[in-house]
Amino acid sequence: MEQAPAAKGAGVRGRPRSEAVERAILEGVIGLLEEGVPLAELSIERIARTAGVGKATIYRRWSGREELFVDVLRTLEAPASVLPGTSMRDDLVALLEQIRRRGLNLRSSAFLHNVFAQMKSLPKLWTAYHATVVEPQRQRAYDVLRRGVDNGELRPDVDIVLAHEMFVGPMLVRTVLRLDAPLDEGLSERIVDTVLEGLRPVE
């Protein structure tokens, strides 16, 4: 049996990762989904056969389907937006822009919309996705709002969690619940500036 070479800082999954192999596996899953295979019917055996690898190769990299699917969903997500860092307002606009652009992507791709719709029927996957993708994004937004309090852009008595929901809520309504609503350029700025009108310190 092949032994994984020792390496400083090596991960707990053993053998060093091959980017080409991982890409083949991820693309294999995406290809099956594009063919219309439901997430619930994607077995490790079928994925391995499609990617041209053994099941053990997949299990060396992912503990199971949920962890693999989360990585697939990460590849379908746009990279995290770079925050300008010039002000809380500008950082909030950048965060909302990422949601807006994701909404446009979902609207333009029936495949992506179908994948996200299916994911909600798989509780373990939905939980894992929230823990590894959604929650870090939420904490990133909380950090932006806390900096806003520290630098005087936001009132110190503002509930950070509620404020975050007030900023992202309108964008999520348009990207998830109201697919007919416009996602035009400048929407992120309008949402942020409208909410900030009520949350800024009184001068």
| pTM over the 0.85 mark | no
d(CA 127, CA 85): 31
- 81-101 core/surface letters (b: 16 or more CB in 10 A; e: else): bebeeeebbebbbbbbbbbbe
Domain assignment of residue 11, yes or no: no
Question: pLDDT by residue for the chain (203 residues), tens digit each?
Answer: 334 344 433 344 444 568 899 999 999 999 998 888 888 888 999 999 999 999 999 999 999 888 998 888 888 877 888 899 999 999 999 999 999 998 888 777 777 777 888 888 888 888 888 888 889 999 999 999 999 999 999 999 999 999 999 999 999 999 888 878 899 999 999 999 999 998 888 77
Decide if 103 is inside a domain.
yes
> Do 119 and 189 have their domain in common?
yes
- Does some domain include residue 167? yes
Q: What angle do CA 120, 113, 31 make, to 5 degrees?
A: 100
191/43 Cα distance (integer angstroms): 42
Quick one: 111 and 50 in the same domain? no
Instruction: Give the pLDDT confidence score for residue 17 in this predicted structure.
Output: 60
CA dihedral 195, 198, 199, 203 (to 10 degrees): 140
Predicted pLDDT of residue 170: 96
What CATH number did the domain enclosing 25 receive?
A: 1.10.357.10
Half-sphere exposure of 107 (CA within 13 A, CB side): 16
What is the per-residue pLDDT for 5?
41
pLDDT at residue number 142 = 98
Let me know if residue 8 belongs to a domain: no
Q: Does 90 lie in the same domain as 57?
A: no
Enclosing domain of residue 43:
19-75
Give residue 84's pLDDT. Answer: 95
pLDDT of residue 3: 40
Residue 40: per-residue pLDDT: 84
Nearest to 103 by CA among 178, 199, 189: 178
pLDDT for the residue numbered 161: 97
For residue 24, the one-letter residue type is A
Predicted local confidence at residue 163, as pLDDT: 97
Count Cβ atoms below 10 Å from residue 115 Cβ, excluding itself.
Answer: 20
